[in-house]
Structure 1
Amino acid sequence: MTAERNAAELYQEDKALEPSDSTLKAVLGATLTLMALAILWEVLVRQFQVPAWLLPSPSLIVESMVEWRSELVGHSMVTLYETLVGFALSIAISVPLAVAVVYSPLLQNTIYPILLALQSMPKVAIAPLLALWIGFGTLPKIVVVFLVCFFPIIVATATGLAAVPAPLMDLIRSLSASSLQTFVKIRFPTAMPHIFVGLKIAITFAVIGAVIGEFVGSESGLGYLILVSTSQSRTPLAFGALVLLTIMSIVLYYGIALVEHVVVPWAPRN
């Protein structure tokens, strides 16, 4: 019995290590690939003597990021604030609205077409109008972030709430459960993995939305810094801002994934 128990414990330990091992391999593979691409980029730029204002080398980009680190950090904080506030507002509004849409066929038939129409509008075209109506402060950027995040979250939430298997719904009805009990015990837990899929998609869109708003009219933020840098032929600094935007998107995405891992441990994972 002791040997069998030890074997079972070892098996469970091995299974527990599998996700971390696969994650480590994925991170290592991605890091090596990026390093290889950076080296190739550096060699080609130096070999063909490409002007720095046209395409800077990775080493020059790093030098520029170190030189302008205080400005980059300040503008990053502005973009991060716009991203998180707009993202939080989209969650606060889209999730309750998705619940209302699922429980009300009337809302489903009236609200969904309107949402689809709003989603079809290019946000780049809406951003100048928001700047005209609201001004050139932080609020228009937050609204753009809200708009780009809203649709993925509400669709994912509504899909998850409606994804409860029919036999399970029949069972809960046979137990005379109330609508609130059905929602709390069945519908919402079933919808949670779908909701987090929508959140992970939306958080990457959120950074893009913030930059779109900063492109149109702003005096701060990484999008603004990219515009100013390119207009002044400081291309390495513009690339440095792009690097920070990429890092920001990745960190926010995996932050949502970490919350999902804690909150929804039963969700299927790759």
Structure 2
Amino acid sequence: MTDLQERATEPATSKPVRGPTAARRLGAGSATIGLPLLGVVVALTVWWLVTSVFQLIHPASLPPPQNVLRALAEHRSLLLEAAATTTMSTVVGFLISTVAGVLIGLALAASRPVERMFAPLLVAVNAVPKIALGPLLVVSLGWGQKPILTMVFLLCFFPIVLSTATGLTTTPAELAELARSLNASWWQAFRKVRFPAALPQIFVGLKVAMPLAAIGAVIGEFQAGEGGLGYQILQFNGIGDYSTSWASIVLIAAMSILLYFALVLAERLALPWVRATTSSR
């Protein structure tokens, strides 16, 4: 028997499957932080080239980034206080929208007649331009937080309703069949199968709604605010200080990014099984 035949007759030994090495995990963590920072650097560079080097845009329309950073430093205390006010309005309005949106989505998913009755009304409410409702909200609710939170709710509740209803009505067939084979009651099937299966879809709606909540807070502050970044944009625009207005816009963008990724982190902590059961890019 030749050496080749002897090797062919030997039992195959399987090599142990190794998980991700420490170097690979470190590289993934560096990419998670480094790539977004690189994107910010690229955006600032393009902004600087367009406004300072080539001067393609008038400074009144888009000030150079160095002017915006200088204005942010000069009015740091005022803008950070306004950012805290806008962040609070955004978070509170988003939480109200989440609770109401999930409950409305549950009602639509639980009853076909209810869905047919109220779905067109929800679409109509969502289609109304919210900026047109701002003065009416001020007249009916007055100044302060009430019209601002209402504006946040009107802007971001619909994606949550839609994702909740869609997730609850598209339960995988094998899971629904498993619940029926185990003689699970409606509540048991909902709690153990339908709602957990709908959570990834619900989080999609939440991630769509989070930036809309920030937009709603700023629009509400335009109309009825006595503070916040939206209010500061109007004030500094009125005196021709466009750099500080853009500094407020930059803070709104930064706030939206932080809240969005906080929601992404909450999704990963709440649904660890999703990443293990779905394909990765």
Q: How high is the TM-score relative to the length of structure 2?
A: 0.86
Letter in 2 for 1:245: I
Distance 1:181 1:16, change over 3 A: farther
Deviations 1:218-240 (A, max 9, x none): 22111111111111100000000
Match of 2:148 among 127, 141, 149: 141
Q: 2:64 aligns with which of 57, 75, 78?
A: 57
Name the aligned partner's letter for residue 30 of structure 1. Answer: G
Per-residue displacement from partner, 1:175-212 (whole Å, max 9, x unpaired)?
11011111111111111111111111101000000111
Aligned in 2, Cα 1:186/1:31: closer, same or farther, shift over 3 Å? same
Which residue type is aligned with residue 210 of structure 1? Answer: A
1:30 is displaced (CA, Å) by 1.0
Residues 49 and 84 from structure 1, CA distance in 2 versus in 1: closer, same or farther, beyond 3 angstroms? closer
**Length, aligned pairs only:** 266
2:44 alignment partner, one of 12, 29, 35:
35
Counterpart of 2:164 in structure 1 is 157
Please name the residue that 1:237 is paired with. Answer: 244
Distance 1:210 1:72 in 2: 15
Cα shift readout 1:20-63 (whole Å, capped 9, x = no counterpart): 3542453244133123213314533xx64976544321111111
Q: Do the aligned partners of 1:98 and 1:157 also contact (CA within 8 Å) in 2?
A: yes
> Identity over the aligned pairs, expressed in percent?
36
Residue 95 to residue 227, structure 1, CA distance change in 2 (3 Å): same
Q: Equivalent residue for 1:9?
A: 18
Query: Does the C-alpha gap of structure 1 residues 257 and 136 become closer, same or farther in structure 2, counting only changes over 3 Å?
Result: same
Give the CA deviation at 1:143: 0.6
| TM superposition outliers: structure 1 runs of 4+ over 6 Å | none
| Alignment partner, residue 196 of structure 2 | 189
2:226 matched residue in structure 1: 219
- Cα shift readout 1:81-118 (whole Å, capped 9, x = no counterpart): 11111111111111122112111112111121111110
Residue in 1 that maps onto 2:214: 207
Letter in 1 for 2:170: A
Secondary structure in structure 1 of the residue aligned to 2:89:
helix
* Bigger radius of gyration among the two: 2
Q: Distance in 1 between matches of 2:90 and 2:33?
A: 29
Q: 1:208 to 1:216 in 2, by over 3 A?
A: same
1:223 aligns to what SS in structure 2?
helix
Cα distance between partner residues in 1 of 2:197 and 2:38: 34
Matched position secondary structure for 1:214: helix
Q: Flag structure 2 segments of 5+ consecutive residues without an equivalent.
A: 1-13
Q: Which of residues 106, 114, 120 in structure 2 aligns to 1:107?
A: 114
Q: Relative to structure 2, which stretch is displaced further, 109-118 or 254-263?
A: 109-118
- TM-score, with normalisation over the residues of structure 1? 0.90
CA distance in 2, matches of 1:208, 1:249: 9
Measured in 2, the distance between the counterparts of 1:155 and 1:50 equals: 40
- Match of residue 26 from structure 1: 35
